[in-house]
Chains A and B, each alone.
Chain A
């Protein structure tokens, strides 16, 4: 990464802002029992940690506000994270799909879809890998290790 990256400063500022918000919310999110003095209580360490976050992000905040010559928004030259964002979205769908339609179907479609989208267009490849991998996972986790998974919600609706 280019050391003089504004993107790095921006994310530092964002984290600093999150830290500041959490610090403001601390009295509401961390009840302090009257029995305990501050140094024994549950607030001391979060306050110290969040203060560290805020203080360490201050130089980046100043740099971003003042602007700095020779800096850019360039990160690493790999462009916008479109693929990663789509991958994330599909992964979030997988999380919900496992509880809605079950592990077997959701894993199979997730794998098949991802492999196809990532460039494995041969049906033997994207379907074959998906079927074999899903079968191995289901056998190992559900039947050998006895992993409990809730009944698919869609199935419950139809019962």
Chain B
């Protein structure tokens, strides 16, 4: 894994003109979609998703990771300048960023956010590099029952993260898992749920599903609700004032702590960047001598929030690469890409494809630097993107989505599938349902089905195999604790609330 020849080859491949172009283009798209409230890196990724199938895996990953990471850089800009987070996770950035702007210190706020994003991204990649191999080593002893149990643990954590909508999450998860079953079963070559339609025999491709649910549905929403617009974006210079970077840099301890918090939250399936950003912000507060000043315009608050959410991409890559378990919708899309390219994440990936893995690490570093430089040097131009009306964005994005979906299999049937799922995505968005559960179900469903059937074949149909193997049992016990502990805490909280309301 740490062989010098692999590392050098990966560096060489990462610095090719094509790879640099892909990651820079991805970072630029990510920054742009991150800046625009209501769009976000997920939409950017799914729109470019169809175009990545015809390019080599490493370039496709550089492009998509560029969007993923660049989105978090961009999301801070409107949060700081106009108190409108470009990305939901940037809401904590606005708490201290906007007061700084109101005091005429927008450059300090932007320096803190960019430094936080850069630091969070870099530190999380370092953690990924050192944590992935031992995790992969442990996972190498996994068999099919352990993988199935690990998938169950993953979806349990995800479902419990959305336990406020527990039933909804379970229904969407089940629906996603069923959607994976549409098409020809690779094990037995029998067609499932094609309803006599030949195109359905190829199954439901992840691109139209994601584009429908996240991309086109979001455009329906944007056509109804105008995004906050402003004619006044106040920036004293067109680029970042690099001298202001020294202000947040004094709080390097906060940066490191927030980055680690964000990485470990990103590692867990479910919580995502909003939780990571919040926990990182709170960690800065707890460690501060003046926690009461948070929210009044502290650069370290801005930096911590951004470090937290920018650490999520690399954190999410840890379980994805080592166990093949996506932590959230974006890494689920990455898993889909890898599967389509014939690469199956898991412990063997680190030994079978060491150059690709090292390339991912190097590209992640380069993406952080590229995103930082783009924003630092093109600040005013990029900030102006906030002013693009959503009513212009909506139809233009739909058109490009259609072309992208069509280009996958050269058929309009996929476009139709995307439109049907866009209706579902729109309903889910209006009802605030966690669409990520459906995507995780779809992507994990393939792995779970394969592992389930293999495990039951090993035991001649006896389901006790999952508890007879020690590691599998341990993982299932962990899953049970993930369910019991939060439910017990919620129960105690409700009991305390009732007791407080009725002292007699």
Contact = CB atoms under 8 A, between A and B. Distances in A.
Q: Are A and B a genuine interacting pair, yes or no? A: yes
Interface of A: 1, 3, 5, 7-8, 11-12, 15-16, 19, 22, 25, 29-33, 35-42, 44-46, 48-53, 55-57, 59-60, 75-76, 78, 81, 83-84, 87-88, 91-92, 94-95, 98-99, 103, 107, 110-111, 114-115, 118-120, 129, 133, 137, 141, 147-149
Interface of B is mostly: helix
29 contacts: A1-B432, A15-B171, A19-B178, A22-B193, A40-B187, A40-B453, A42-B185, A42-B188, A42-B192, A44-B456, A45-B452, A45-B453, A49-B174, A53-B178, A57-B167, A57-B171, A76-B432, A78-B225, A83-B223, A84-B224, A88-B419, A88-B422, A91-B398, A98-B402, A111-B399, A114-B223, A115-B395, A120-B389, A129-B392
Contacts of B216: 91
Contacts of B394: 87, 114, 118
Interface stretch (B343-351, B366-374, B407-415): B407-415
Interface stretch (B68-76, B108-116, B423-431): B423-431
Contacts, number: 182
B481 interface: no
B203 interface: no
B168 interface: yes
Contact of A59 (B167, B175, B448): B167
B171 A94 contact: no
Contact of A8 (B185, B389, B391, B431): B431
A120 B167 contact: no
A11 B406 CA distance: 30
B399 A49 contact: no
B170 interface: yes
Most A Cβ at <10 Å: residue of B178, B187, B391: B178
B42 to A, nearest CB: 19
Lowest 9 CB-CB distances: which A-B pairs, in order?
Answer: A52-B174, A56-B170, A114-B395, A53-B174, A118-B391, A49-B177, A39-B456, A42-B185, A45-B449
Interface in B165-201: 166-168, 170-171, 173-175, 177-178, 181, 185, 187-188, 190-195
B496 interface: no
B430 A81 contact: yes
Contacts of B432: 1, 76
Given A107-B399, A111-B396, A129-B392, A16 B181 contact: no
A78 B430 contact: yes
Given A91-B216, A111-B395, A111-B399, A50 B193 contact: no
A133 B188 contact: no
B177 to A, nearest CB: 4
Contacts of A5: 431
B445 interface: yes
Given A87-B394, A115-B392, A7 B431 contact: yes
Interface string B65-92: 0000000000000000000000000000
B253 interface: no
Contact of A137 (B389, B400, B422): B400
Nearest to A45: B449
Given A3-B164, A119-B391, A141-B407, 8 more contacts: A19-B171, A45-B181, A75-B431, A76-B431, A78-B430, A95-B416, A115-B395, A118-B394
B220 interface: yes
Nearest to B462: A39
A22 B219 CA distance: 30
A45 B190 contact: no
A19 B171 CA distance: 9
Interface of B: 164, 166-168, 170-171, 173-175, 177-178, 181, 185, 187-188, 190-195, 216, 219-221, 223-225, 389, 391-392, 394-396, 398-400, 402-403, 406-407, 410, 412, 415-416, 419, 422-423, 426-427, 430-433, 441, 445, 448-449, 452-453, 456-457, 461
Contact of A42 (B190, B412, B445): B190
A31 B190 contact: yes
B197 to A, nearest CB: 11
Contacts of B416: 95
Nearest to A35: B188
B224 A141 contact: no
A115 B336 CA distance: 34
Contacts of A35: 188
A16 B172 CA distance: 10
B113 to A, nearest CB: 30
Given A45-B181, A46-B193, A115-B391, A12 B422 contact: no
A12 B406 CA distance: 31
B452 to A, nearest CB: 7
Given A12-B168, A52-B177, A88-B423, A39 B457 contact: yes
Q: Which of B185, B195, B395 is the most central at the interface, judged by chain A CB atoms within 10 Å of its CB?
A: B395
A40 B450 CA distance: 10
A95 B399 CA distance: 9
Contact of A12 (B164, B171, B173, B396): B171
Contact of A50 (B174, B223, B391, B398): B174
Contact of B419 (A39, A95, A110, A148): A95
B461 A39 contact: yes
A148 B412 CA distance: 12
B420 to A, nearest CB: 10
Given A95-B412, A111-B395, A118-B395, A84 B190 contact: no
A50 B178 contact: yes
A81 B430 CA distance: 10
Contacts of A149: 406
A42 B185 CA distance: 7
B418 to A, nearest CB: 9
A129 B181 CA distance: 42
A45 B402 contact: no
Q: Which of B173, B432, B441 has the most CB of A within 10 A?
A: B432
